[in-house]
Amino acid sequence: MSSDSPPHYPVTSAPEDSRAESDKHPAANLSDLQSIRRDKVEQLRAAGNDPYPPRAHRSHTTTAALAHFQEREATLSDGQDHDQITLVGRIVSLRHMGKTVFAHLRDGYGELQLYIRRDVLGDPAYDALLKLYDLGDFAQATGTLFRTKAGEISLRVELITMLAKALNAPPEKWHGLTDVELRYRQRYADLIANAEVRQVFQIRSAAISAIRRFLDSHGYIEVETPALQPLYGGAAARPFVTRHHALDQDFYLRIADELYLKRLLVGGFERVYEICKDFRNEGIDRNHSPEFTMLEFYEAYADYTTIMATVEDLVRATARASLGTTTIDQHGNAIDLEQTPWPRLTLREAIHMASGVDYGAHPVQASLLAAARKAGADVEAETVWPRIVDELLKQFVRPTLIQPTFLIDYPVALSPLAKRKPEDPEHAERFQLFIGGGEIANAFTELNDPLDQLARFQEQARDRAAGDEEAMPIDTDFINALMYGMPPTGGVGIGIDRLVMLLTEQASIRDVILFPAMRNLPAER
């Protein structure tokens, strides 16, 4: 992975007499260090300098400044660019050597070295720099660019101004912020300390932008559907419930936007998509978060084979736009997104090959449960038939699917919103895409027969009565919409977070969510 930032982010200690005041007290506790920095705030104010001025000026970003100098360097007779520029950013290194201070200023694009001399800055400003500036402070520096004897492009500073005095010392990458849970709780500190973390979220942003460009260019329109819903549906999941006091009724945070997007196809739209937050009140693990980002798109007059081709092109285009490559290294496995078409395998044959269980030969729950357990599956006794099939998939098949693979044709009982295969009515026209051992997409030829859909909902209601808490309720308004007619349709849901996990080689979904859900600390409860 590449970045505009340098590959290292040193926080260098200076000689004892030149270190920032807070660094001279290694045994001091956090409140003592904050007290020292607060004193500096008051000293700045006493000298007539606002430690938190309302405005800043910047003529160049750090990367633009470096490019500007490199373009002109060959024409500079004395090796120094006399054009004055102004940079802003956070001080991430600070060292004092005699009458010179070397610092690195980091903005949102990269870093550039500051070269600060007493004879250029002047005694009062230079002394104030040594006394009042610390690592983590935001500053504005004006000067001219040159290349040092060591070969580093630097800014010879003529004026430096405080933009925001930091009261907390920044965490160091290897010493100050290694606790994983603390990194999630204090993501702001994690982003300060770890360039790799910043890059993950830059790639995430680029991937989402690429997805929008792809869908927009293919004639899809972006829409918004309710996050607060009077009835949840569109996925097998337990919802979050909230109370609307003005309406005096319960609402649910959406678990999926599928049923609302299909209503739009009933209304006459032909290609729609939505990138939104979904919420599912279930466990947290490396692949699941109660709040996550989902892409769903639907196309009228298409089926699941059409959507398969579109998804393949979309994932490949997203990788190319966000990474610059379609080859991903995952823990030593080279995943090739460029090879096409991606393999397709029926769910039944995939499970049979991986576990030895042919679920088609076990049409009742007790028989399939016994076969699954004999194969070594960990399945609870009360698990309903479709969930046993799903467990066989999760436990035996999914971990083996490293290269992009479409699993197709799922049991109807496991696919309540998908259209039956005409030649095999016990199976639905459904696929899931797996890459790197994880599920990336789930898609159907959408069920548009209102009476069949009602029967599926009723079967879900029976599963719910039998103990399946994730079974969908009957959505009578959606049935009413289908009765107006919905054209043949293909649709898909793609988990953005899992896709970003794949692109950035992250092992946990919490590593690609800026502020993941966390249990409150005891003092916060």
Q: Tens of pLDDT along 212-232?
A: 999 999 999 999 999 999 999
pLDDT digits (tens, 9 = 90+) for 372-414: 999 999 999 999 999 999 999 999 999 999 999 999 999 999 9
pLDDT on residue 9:
30
Average pLDDT over residues 36-64: 97
Q: Tell the burial category of 221 from Cβ atoms under 10 Å away from its Cβ (0-12, 13-18, 19+).
A: middle
**Cα–Cα distance between 289 and 298 in angstroms, integer?**
24
Global pTM reads: 0.88
Q: Which residues contact 429 (CB under 8 A, 6 or more apart)?
A: 303, 304, 408, 409, 418, 419, 420, 421, 444, 445
**Cα–Cα distance between 409 and 439 in angstroms, integer?**
16
pLDDT on residue 522:
79
Average pLDDT over residues 315-341: 94
- Give the CB-side neighbour count of residue 74, counting CA atoms within 13 A: 2
Average pLDDT over residues 200-211: 98
pLDDT on residue 20:
46
pLDDT at residue 243 is higher than 80: yes
Distance between alpha carbon 166 and the CA centroid of its chain, in Å?
A: 28
Q: Which of 5-9, 169-173, 245-249 has the lowest mean pLDDT?
A: 5-9
The secondary element (H helix, E strand) that includes residue 92 is strand 85-97
Average pLDDT over residues 484-507: 97
Peptide bond before residue 487 is cis, with ω within 30 degrees of 0:
no
pLDDT at residue 429 is higher than 90: yes
Q: Which of 77-86, 261-270, 484-493 has the lowest mean pLDDT?
A: 77-86
pLDDT digits (tens, 9 = 90+) for 252-305: 999 999 999 999 999 999 999 999 999 999 989 999 999 999 999 999 999 999
pLDDT on residue 332:
84
pLDDT on residue 366:
96
| Side chain identity, residue 102 | F
**Cα–Cα distance between 218 and 272 in angstroms, integer?**
11
Q: Hey, what CATH class is 16-170 in?
A: mainly beta
Average pLDDT over residues 73-83: 80
Average pLDDT over residues 346-358: 98
**Cα–Cα distance between 294 and 248 in angstroms, integer?**
29
pLDDT on residue 483:
98
CATH (one of 3.30.930.10, 3.60.20.10, 1.10.3080.10, 3.90.1150.10) for 180-225+286-342+416-426+438-470+499-519? 3.30.930.10
Q: Between these two residues, 386 and 22, which has the higher pLDDT value? A: 386
Work out the pLDDT band at 18, boundaries 50, 70, 90: very low
pLDDT at residue 482 is higher than 90: yes
Work out the pLDDT band at 78, boundaries 50, 70, 90: confident
Work out the pLDDT band at 1, boundaries 50, 70, 90: very low
Percent of the chain with pLDDT over 70: 93
Long-range contacts of 67-72 (CB under 8 A, 24+ apart): 68/145, 69/145, 69/147, 69/153, 70/153
pLDDT digits (tens, 9 = 90+) for 83-136: 899 999 999 999 999 899 999 999 999 999 999 999 999 999 999 999 999 999
Long-range contacts of 198-203 (CB under 8 A, 24+ apart): 198/3, 198/5, 199/1, 199/3, 199/5, 199/504, 200/500, 200/504, 200/506, 200/511, 200/512, 201/512, 201/514, 202/3, 203/1, 203/322, 203/323, 203/500, 203/503, 203/504
| Ranges of each domain in the chain | 16-170, 180-225+286-342+416-426+438-470+499-519, 344-402
pLDDT digits (tens, 9 = 90+) for 159-196: 999 999 999 998 875 454 567 888 899 999 999 999 99
pLDDT on residue 19:
41
Report, in this order, helix, strand and coil percent for the chain, each rounded to 5.
40, 25, 35
pLDDT on residue 180:
84
pLDDT on residue 5:
35
Long-range contacts of 283-289 (CB under 8 A, 24+ apart): 284/517, 286/507, 286/508, 286/509, 286/510, 287/438, 287/498, 287/509, 288/509, 289/497, 289/509, 289/510, 289/513, 289/516, 289/517
Radius of gyration of the chain (CA): 29
Work out the pLDDT band at 31, boundaries 50, 70, 90: confident
The secondary element (H helix, E strand) that includes residue 353 is helix 347-355
pLDDT on residue 30:
59
**Cα–Cα distance between 46 and 43 in angstroms, integer?**
5
Q: Tell the burial category of 172 from Cβ atoms under 10 Å away from its Cβ (0-12, 13-18, 19+).
A: middle
Percent of the chain with pLDDT over 90: 80
Go through the chain and tell me how many residues it has: 525
Work out the pLDDT band at 10, boundaries 50, 70, 90: very low
Provide the pairing of β-strand 221-222 with 271-279: parallel
Determine contact, residues 473/461, Cβ cutoff 8 Å.
yes
Average pLDDT over residues 58-85: 89
| Side chain identity, residue 24 | K
**Cα–Cα distance between 270 and 280 in angstroms, integer?**
28
Report the chain's mean pLDDT, rounded to a whole number: 91
pLDDT at residue 33 is higher than 50: yes
pLDDT on residue 470:
81
